[in-house]
């Protein structure tokens, strides 16, 4: 599970790279926003075991 910013000028589209630098072209987009779950991690609980540590570190700062 990686985190990626939105695409420039397209707030509903995923940007071209994840926060750790991977290409998002072939990745699936998870639905949901961290603002919808105050205090919860940025990723869905079912993906906790496969979260990218680099993306997680950026999201936690």
Do the beta carbons of residue 61 and residue 3 sit within 8 Å?
no
Do the beta carbons of residue 27 and residue 42 sit within 8 Å?
no
List pLDDT tens digits, range 4-36.
999 999 988 999 999 999 999 999 988 766 656
Number of other residues whose CB lies within 10 A of the CB of residue 30: 14
| pTM (predicted TM-score) | 0.80
| pLDDT at residue 4, rounded to an integer | 95
Question: How far apart, in whole angstroms, are the C-alpha atoms of residue 61 and residue 57?
Answer: 7
Question: How far apart, in whole angstroms, are the C-alpha atoms of residue 48 and residue 61?
Answer: 18
């Amino acid at each position: 599970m990686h985190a990626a910013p939105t695409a420039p000028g397209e707030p509903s589209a995923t940007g071209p790279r994840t926060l750790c630098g991977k290409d998002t072209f072939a990745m699936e987009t998870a639905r949901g926003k961290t603002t919808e779950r105050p205090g919860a991690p940025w990723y869905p609980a079912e993906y906790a075991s496969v979260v990218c540590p680099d993306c997680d570190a950026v999201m936690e700062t």
